[in-house]
């Protein structure tokens, strides 16, 4: 059965190439291909359902920026399905993830709490335990108590198990999503650039055969970023470089000739599907995923969940890996954008959005389903793999009118494209400048479903239901933004970044190539104050001109941080 039959949608197939896969990727990286359209198929017209508690679907992207969506001004990538959500609902211009890094943003979305309050909530590895306390009153748990069936499909990256480095991938894997409010889960457990490259279905690795050797996973003892920063190009012990931590499978360092495209040291562990990953892995090969098939797998399972729950309210968090590295689009999407693999991956994500919308239409559920799209943090072109994103960006501005992206304290790191449609409850074609944050989803959906939050739960979450429904242009007064360099705060048009010891990690990621497409000038250790109304690109530091405003924001940030 082909991919289209599995997913129940139609697609325009890209002709197969005579090149090998590796040669084809290299061709894309060097030169890019001409844009080719992806044609959707028509959907059936169904009767309007009875209005009750709306179904809720959050389609969560990874590293897709403000300027990567047509409704926000993108021209070199095509996102017709996301654009339809904007046309049929509300487009937010001041919506934020809580962090410029993935794990903290996901934590805040589910808990209603800023992740900086939790020690160890940085970017997690597969050896890190679950960072949400089992039994917590999370967004899915709240909706479950309201009568919803809850599911997460796709990227998790919030830890599994209860102790560092003790998880056995060959037995029950818990605690995890099922212990924090989800009835069902089908996970990419960490990120697609990390081992293990397997899915976790409920508590067990999906398709793991008892005939396989045990699945073993190990990460370098060095810190997440120190491994690259301290060891890049500095090898005194060749044995230490090339010897895998577990097993004897090829790595990006030992067998670079096997790679579709090169990777940095951090990403040069075990090779899977022609891509070297962070960390080392052995055994369990019957369960290894196919990167190219991943969007179809997550779409198919999501469609099944929707169909199975069409007669009762449901909550689905569809957490897609696009546009995180490594970018390995399915052949159906290769060459469909002029931006190379990164643009092709955005087209692939938009197709997934369209497939979900089409399923809702076919099942008669679109009218009374809230579909919310956003992303976990800002964009990045190069993030460890030489996949051509720098060479092929063609002056595309993935962060839109803002400065910076992933990891960075500038607006491009946390201001997210955010779209919401609900035909039964939101007018079409709305645009809102209200300041909202993903940390507000908990209190807002609690208000929508009539659930009272227990005392002490979701302490940072605010009920912004009128703003979400387009009934008010008033959102938050202030919003806190976390980055690899600490915190920042926006209040009204003013943005303040406290003085801090700055890491060069994020800046090194962005300041590669000839163009500096993300406009990332490295911050010094001083404080910064910007007027976003007059200077959305954060080019003029006004700290000396308005010291009283900076002092007010510094005090407000201190008050928020001390709240517990």
pLDDT at 52: 57
pLDDT at 38: 37
The pLDDT tens digits for 493-518 are: 999 999 988 777 777 777 666 556 67
Helix residue spans in 119-262 (DSSP H): 139-145, 226-231, 238-242
Residues shown for the chain: 564
**Structure tokens belonging to residue 94:** 């001041």
The pLDDT tens digits for 412-461 are: 999 999 999 999 999 999 999 999 999 999 999 999 999 999 999 999 99
CA distance to 20, 192, 414, per residue, from 295 (Å): 22, 12, 25
d(CA 548, CA 4): 60
Residue 91 CB-density burial (10 A; 0-12 exposed, 13-18 middle, 19+ buried): buried
151 vs 38, residue with greater confidence: 151
Mean pLDDT of 33-52: 40
pLDDT at 513: 63
Percent over 70 (pLDDT), the chain: 85
Mean pLDDT of 267-290: 96
pLDDT band at 330 (very low <50, low <70, confident <90, very high): very high
Q: Taking a C-beta distance cutoff of 8 angstroms, is the pair 214, 285 a contact?
A: no
d(CA 279, CA 125): 9
pLDDT band at 121 (very low <50, low <70, confident <90, very high): confident
Q: Taking a C-beta distance cutoff of 8 angstroms, is the pair 267, 125 a contact?
A: no
Mean of the per-residue pLDDT values of the chain: 88
Give the architecture (CATH level 2) of 483-562: 2-Layer Sandwich (3.30)
Residue 234 CB-density burial (10 A; 0-12 exposed, 13-18 middle, 19+ buried): exposed
Q: Taking a C-beta distance cutoff of 8 angstroms, is the pair 465, 432 a contact?
A: no
The pLDDT tens digits for 80-95 are: 999 999 999 999 999 9
CA distance to 129, 134, 435, 469, per residue, from 439 (Å): 22, 19, 12, 17
**Structure tokens belonging to residue 355:** 């497939």
Please determine, looking at this structure, whether the domain spanning 57-214+287-477 carries the CATH number 3.40.720.10: yes
pLDDT band at 380 (very low <50, low <70, confident <90, very high): very high
Domain boundaries, the chain: 57-214+287-477, 225-278, 483-562
pLDDT at 245: 85
- Asked if residue 364 has pLDDT above 60, the reply is yes
Q: Position of tokens 């891509």?
A: 275
Backbone phi, psi, residue 126, to 5°: -75, -10
Mean pLDDT of 42-67: 74
pLDDT band at 346 (very low <50, low <70, confident <90, very high): very high
d(CA 487, CA 563): 15
pLDDT at 321: 97
> Could you check whether 57-214+287-477 and 483-562 share the same CATH topology?
no
pLDDT at 501: 82
- Asked if residue 224 has pLDDT above 50, the reply is no
d(CA 102, CA 11): 31
pLDDT at 462: 98
Q: Taking a C-beta distance cutoff of 8 angstroms, is the pair 496, 488 a contact?
A: yes
d(CA 38, CA 333): 8
pLDDT at 249: 95
548 vs 408, residue with greater confidence: 548
Mean pLDDT of 41-53: 46
Global pTM reads 0.90
- Asked if residue 195 has pLDDT above 90, the reply is yes
Percent over 90 (pLDDT), the chain: 76
d(CA 136, CA 179): 8
d(CA 396, CA 410): 18
Q: Which residues 6+ apart lie within 8 Å of 8 measured at CB?
A: 300, 303, 355, 359
pLDDT at 119: 81
With H, G, I as helix, E, B as strand and everything else as coil, classify residue 486.
strand
DSSP track, 399-423 = TTTS---TT-SSGGGTB--EEEE-T
**Structure tokens belonging to residue 310:** 């069409």
120 vs 277, residue with greater confidence: 277
* Residue 394: how many other CB atoms lie within 10 Å: 14
pLDDT at 281: 96
The pLDDT tens digits for 2-32 are: 433 333 333 333 333 333 444 444 444 444 4
pLDDT at 7: 36
CA distance to 521, 528, 553, per residue, from 524 (Å): 9, 9, 19
d(CA 126, CA 35): 37
pLDDT at 515: 57
The pLDDT tens digits for 240-268 are: 556 788 999 999 988 999 999 999 888 99
**Structure tokens belonging to residue 46:** 């169904």
DSSP track, 436-485 = EEGGGHHHHHHHHHTPPPPTTSSTT----HHHHTTS-S---SEEEEEETT
Backbone phi, psi, residue 111, to 5°: -105, -20
Helix H or strand E encompassing 496:
strand 494-497
Burial call 327-348: b when 16+ CB within 10 Å, e when fewer: bbbbbbbbbbbbbbbbbbbbbb
């Amino acid at each position: 059965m082909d991919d289209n039959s599995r997913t129940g949608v139609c697609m325009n197939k890209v002709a197969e190439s005579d090149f090998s896969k590796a040669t084809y990727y290299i061709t894309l990286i060097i030169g890019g291909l001409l844009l080719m359209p992806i044609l959707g198929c028509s959907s059936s017209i169904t009767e309007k359902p009875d209005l009750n508690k709306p179904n809720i679907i959050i389609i969560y992207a990874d590293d897709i920026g403000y300027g990567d969506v047509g409704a926000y001004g993108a021209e070199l990538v095509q996102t017709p399905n996301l654009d339809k959500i904007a046309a049929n609902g509300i487009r937010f211009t001041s919506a934020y993830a809580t962090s410029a890094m993935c794990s903290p943003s996901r934590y805040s979305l589910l808990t209603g709490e800023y992740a900086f309050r939790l020690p160890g909530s940085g970017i997690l590895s597969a050896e890190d335990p679950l960072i949400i306390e089992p039994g917590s009153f999370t967004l899915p748990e709240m909706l479950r108590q309201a009568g919803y069936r809850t599911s997460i499909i796709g990227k998790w990256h919030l830890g599994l198990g209860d102790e560092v480095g003790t998880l056995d991938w060959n037995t029950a894997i818990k605690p995890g999503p099922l212990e924090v409010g989800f009835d069902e889960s089908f996970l990419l457990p960490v990120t697609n650039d990390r081992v293990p490259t397997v899915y976790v279905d409920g508590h067990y690795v999906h398709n793991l055969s008892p005939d396989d050797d045990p699945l073993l996973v190990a990460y370098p003892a060095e810190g997440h970023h120190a491994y690259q920063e301290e060891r890049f190009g500095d090898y005194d012990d060749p044995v230490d470089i090339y010897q895998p931590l577990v097993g004897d499978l090829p790595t990006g360092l030992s067998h670079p000739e096997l790679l579709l495209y090169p990777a940095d040291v951090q990403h040069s562990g075990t090779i899977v599907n022609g891509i070297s990953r962070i960390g080392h892995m052995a055994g369990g090969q019957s369960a290894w995923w196919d990167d190219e098939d991943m969007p179809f797998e997550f779409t198919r399972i999501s469609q099944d969940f929707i169909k199975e729950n069409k007669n009762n309210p449901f909550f689905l968090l569809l957490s897609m890996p696009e546009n995180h590295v490594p970018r390995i689009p399915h052949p159906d999407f290769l060459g469909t954008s002029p931006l190379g693999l990164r643009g092709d991956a955005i087209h692939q994500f938009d197709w997934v959005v369209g497939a979900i919308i089409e399923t809702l239409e076919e099942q008669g559920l679109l009218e009374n389903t809230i579909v919310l799209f956003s992303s976990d943090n800002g964009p990045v072109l190069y993030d460890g793999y030489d996949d051509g994103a720098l060479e092929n960006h063609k002056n595309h501005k993935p962060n839109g009118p803002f400065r910076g992206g992933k990891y960075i304290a500038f607006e491009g790191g946390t201001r997210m494209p955010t779209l919401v449609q609900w035909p039964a409850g939101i007018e079409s074609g709305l645009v809102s400048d209200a300041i909202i944050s993903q940390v507000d989803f908990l209190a807002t959906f609690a208000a929508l479903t009539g659930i009272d939050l227990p005392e002490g739960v979701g302490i940072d979450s605010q009920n912004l239901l009128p703003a979400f429904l387009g009934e008010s242009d008033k959102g938050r007064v202030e919003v806190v933004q976390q980055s690899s360099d600490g915190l920042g705060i926006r209040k009204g048009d003013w943005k303040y970044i406290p003085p801090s010891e700055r890491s060069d990690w994020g800046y090194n990621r962005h300041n590669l190539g000839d163009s500096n497409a993300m406009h990332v000038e490295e911050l010094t250790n001083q404080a910064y104050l910007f007027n976003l109304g007059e200077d959305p690109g954060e080019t003029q530091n006004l700290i000396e001109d308005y010291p009283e405003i900076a002092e007010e924001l510094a005090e407000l940030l201190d008050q928020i941080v001390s709240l517990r």
